[in-house]
Amino acid sequence: MDEAFSEAYLDGEVRMSKFRFSVSNVEMRQEGVIESPDFMAAVGALGKKVEVRSGDTLEIGVLGFPPARFACMGRLSPDEPFWVPVAA
């Protein structure tokens, strides 16, 4: 078994990944880091931590990989923006 897998999951602790993000529009840009167990949870948590409006652009990723880009098309709920992928 892979040693990294063993250390990350079999000791009973799930290591949180640090995702760097930026949310921007024509008026402003917010940057930060969010810790989350996976990519989908990190994207989902942003609506609770950062003010997001329709038309905003999100770039999010982890160190060593290019960021994914999304555009906010509206909201599914007050804390849940609706993101769609966009080409870089």
Cβ-contact 36, 45 below 8 angstroms: yes
The per-residue pLDDT for 12 is 59
pLDDT in tens, 47-64: 888 889 999 999 999 988
Task: Give domain limits for the chain.
Answer: 16-85
What is the H or E stretch that residue 3 is in?
A: helix 3-5
**pTM, 2 dp:** 0.77
Strand ranges inside the chain, DSSP E? 17-24, 29-36, 57-61, 68-77, 80-85
* Mean pLDDT for the chain overall: 84
The per-residue pLDDT for 21 is 94
pLDDT in tens, 18-43: 999 999 999 999 999 999 988 889 98
The per-residue pLDDT for 68 is 94
